[in-house]
Amino acid sequence: MSVFCEVPQAAPVAVFKLTQDFNNDQDPNKVNLGVGAYRTDEGRPWVLPVVKKVEKVIVHDDTLNHEYLPILGLPEFRSSASKIALGEDSPAIQQNRVGAVQCLGGTGALKMGAEFLRRFYNGNNNTKTPVYVSAPTWENHNAVFANAGFEDVRPYKYWDAEKRGLDLDGFLGDLQSCPEHSIFVLHACAHNPTGTDPTQEQWMQIAEIMMMRNLFVFFDSAYQGFASGCLDKDAWAVRYFVSMGFEMFCAQSFSKNFGLYNERVGNLTVVARDADNLKRIMSQMEKIVRTTWSNPPSQGARVVAITLNTPELFDEWKGNVKTMADRVLLMRAQLKAKLQALGTPGTWDHITEQIGMFSFTGLNSKQVEYMVKEKHVYLMASGRINMCGLTTKNIDYVAESIHETLTNVQ
CA distance 402 to 63: 55
CB 171 within 8 A of CB 156: yes
- Residues labelled catalytic: 138, 220, 256
All residues at 6 or more sequence positions from 248 whose CB lies less than 8 Å from its CB, including other chains: 216, 217, 218, 219, 241, 242, 271
Q: Whose CA is closest to 45, among 258, 244, 222? A: 258
CB 223 within 8 A of CB 189: yes
CA distance 398 to 46: 22
CA distance 127 to 134: 20
CA distance 398 to 338: 10
Helix, coil or strand: residue 194: coil
CA distance 143 to 149: 10
CA distance 408 to 131: 40
Q: Whose CA is closest to 400, among 373, 371, 357, 379? A: 371
